[in-house]
Amino acid sequence: MIATIPSPYQSPDLVYMKIATSIIVILAVLFAGASWAAPKPIPNPPTIDATSYYLIDFDSGRVLAEKDPDKRMEPASITKLMTVYLVDKAIADGDVALDEMVTISEKAWRMQGSKMFVEVGKQVSVDDLLKGLIIQSGNDASVALAEHIAGSESAFVGYMNHQASLLGMSNTNFVNSTGWPDKNHYSSARDIAILTQAVIRDFPISYRDYREKEFTFNNIRQFNRNRLLWTDDSVDGVKTGWTEGAGYCLVSSAKRGEMRLISVVLGADSDKSRTESSQAMLNYGFRFFETHRLYQAKEILKSARIWYGDQEQVSMGVGRDIYITIPRGRYSDLDASMEIDSEISAPVAQGQQLGQVNIKLDDELVVTEDIVAMQAVEEGGLIDRALDRIKLMFR
């Protein structure tokens, strides 16, 4: 038997076949890689059994889920967020002190619903009343503080509505400091989220009380009604509410890493439902989105030539911290660009707009912010201005 030795030469058809096979393999790998690298789609938010709900990122304000966020509804005891906000503001302004004593009126003592059980004629510190208001949701504490700040609850309500207007709560009207049912007492999920942002942003030290699980006053121990405080370590507030007309309500906030979310659920049919719905929304937001600070307030982003000024350069940046919330894993896909005025002439005031920074994701404009002067630039002398005029002619 004669052995056959493989030829070092191959037929043209075999060579072409191997080349074609290699090309197919390479293309398959490339397409597989492109498919693997493609952005993952964001699923729809969880189904929430509530009349209205709203989920936003605290820093960027991006809305992640919503249903009828501007529907006017009874806010119930969530109203007390505004009461606490105004007490904190009075403390910050030096008008009230935490150790200041408050004499309990008969009106405060007679309040029904949730109570911290203060006694008429007795004196209670502002600090204790705040804890009774935040942790125990005491209607009596709310009225006592309102009367102490403004002289009467009705006068305090005027402060509440004025502050709501300042914050941009356009679908809110308060009639009392407690959330006691009244057809003219209403708010919305969006407005409650705006108020919660203000509570956390403006008074972060006071906000710590919202995470406390219990408070004992007058030998009566009561527990915070926000069940999420026991089941999710990232949750540190905020407030529950219930009336027959409002249903079960919960505004909650959680922070995981550097990302904080605010969830508002209004009109759920049970305590269990509002808790589970709020947890589902928070989990959805953290699972599928991420938040980054793109620019810091007063950070110099660029310097540009300024004409006719007492200096040749003006520094530019943004006037506030700029945050962006995007689908998780897409940070490297962001595209930033700046549009600066082509000719900047003195005088320029500090904070004056000189351009814009635009952030795009997949050709969609997701953030646009003014670029402003970081310092004022005054007009230069007569000679400097004349020289700049000549330079511009030959520019």
Altogether, the residues listed in the chain come to a count of 395
Single pTM value for the model: 0.86
Q: Which domain holds residue 314?
A: 296-393
Highest mean pLDDT among 17-26, 285-294, 299-308: 285-294
Position 5 scores a pLDDT of 32
Mean pLDDT, rounded, for 372-395 = 84
Where a domain ends, among 286, 308, 343? 286
The one catalytic residue among 52, 137, 273, 277:
137
Query: Of 315, 294, 312, which is closest to residue 357 (Cα–Cα)?
Result: 294
The residue among 286, 314, 349 that closes a domain is 286
**pLDDT higher than 70, residue 32:** no
d(CA 78, CA 191): 11
Whether 190 has a pLDDT exceeding 90, the answer reads yes
Average pLDDT, stretch 348-362? 94
* 46 in Cβ contact with 284 (< 8 Å): yes
Which of 52, 60, 67, 80 does the annotation list as catalytic?
80
Read off the pLDDT of residues 270-301 as tens digits, 9 standing for 90 and up.
999 999 999 999 999 999 999 999 999 989 99
Q: Report pLDDT for 38.
A: 66
In a domain, 31, yes or no: no
* Closest-CA residue to 229 (of 211, 242, 215, 216): 211
- Confirm if 237 and 253 have CB atoms less than 8 A apart: yes
Annotated active-site residue 77? The verdict is yes
| Cβ 254 vs Cβ 240: under 8 Å | no
pLDDT digits (tens, 9 = 90+) for 82-137: 999 999 999 999 999 999 999 999 999 999 999 999 999 999 999 999 999 999 99
- The reply to whether 21 falls in a domain is no
Look at the chain and report how many structural domains it folds into.
2
Least confident of 131-145, 200-214, 242-256, 294-308: 294-308
Clarify whether 80 is annotated catalytic. Answer: yes
Q: Are residues 261 and 354 in the same domain?
A: no
Per the domain annotation, does 382 fall within a domain?
yes
**Residue 218 sits in the same domain as residue 303:** no
Residue 12 located in a structural domain: no
Helices 153-167 and 80-92 cross at an angle (nearest 10°) of: 90
Decide if 184 is inside a domain.
yes
Tokens 């007063």, residue located: 298
CA 309 to chain centre: 40
Structure confidence at residue 218 as a pLDDT band (50, 70, 90)? very high
Tell me the one-letter amino acid at 174: F
Catalytic residue among 77, 114, 252, 278: 77
Residue 261 shares a structural domain with residue 377: no
Domain check: are 353 and 221 in the same one?
A: no
Domain closes at, from 286, 307, 334: 286
CA gap 66, 108 in Å, rounded = 37
* Phi-psi domain of 156 (left: phi exceeds 0; alpha: psi -120 through 50; beta: other): alpha
- CA torsion sign for 56, 287, 292, 203 is positive
Question: Can you tell me the mean pLDDT for 149-158?
Answer: 98
Short-list 84, 53, 65, 46, CA closest to 200: 84
| Residues 251 and 310 occupy one common structural domain | no
Ramachandran quadrant class, 68 (left: phi over 0; alpha: psi -120 to 50; beta: rest): left
Beta-bridge partners for 255: 260
